[in-house]
Structure 1
């Protein structure tokens, strides 16, 4: 039984991916501190934050809106990963694996939203 957002598999996955993005961005140049580093970390962290906020909402409509925002942040994170790979900041294989993981996360969010109606 899910008693907390911390019990949700989708939140656990989003939280773990956020940590992986943080680790990936540690090696970015200082010149990216207020650019890619900040943007990708914020978008990755936003996913689990919005999932937890959705959990705390009462109505299906409110919950769904936060899941929609979480899904949008997952797509944003993928875009940042692709950019980082294109400009050779990130290893292409790592980017590919993370893109797949985010695809799975987006699929999980889609299932939750479908269940909410």
Structure 2
């Protein structure tokens, strides 16, 4: 097991993708900055934040860490909905959507594996 949440492969992958999502979201129309763009920034970052918070609580309870991993899985799946809106509204292209969709599917699988391991 990792000594820090930053050492988790799934954290590193989710964090890298959240930075990409954040940068792209800033290019969305002004009308979306308080709505869809804000939502995808928050949901993408909540994967990482929940992992970090849960990791810190595992000393108290493995069950608590598992609960936060489930929150992260939920956020990864939520991102798949939001990016579908992004592609359908023309804010991202098909290539970006496919890349992000595949990444979030893989991140969710990694999180499920971590949940089983804990």
In the superposition, the TM-score normalised over structure 2's length comes to 0.94
Q: Which residue of 2 aligns with 1:97?
A: 99
Name stretches of at least 5 consecutive residues in structure 2 with no aligned partner. none
Whole-angstrom distance in 1 between the partners of 2:56 and 2:46: 15
Aligned length: 116
Q: Which residue of 2 aligns with 1:113?
A: 115
Name stretches of at least 5 consecutive residues in structure 1 with no aligned partner. none
User: Alpha-carbon deviation of 1:2?
Assistant: 2.1
Q: Which residue of 1 aligns with 2:85?
A: 83
RMSD across aligned C-alpha pairs, in angstroms? 1.0
Whole-angstrom distance in 1 between the partners of 2:76 and 2:112: 12
- Aligned pair 1:2/2:5, yes or no? no
CA displacement 1:63-102 (0-9 Å, x = unmatched): 0100000010111111100111011111111010110011
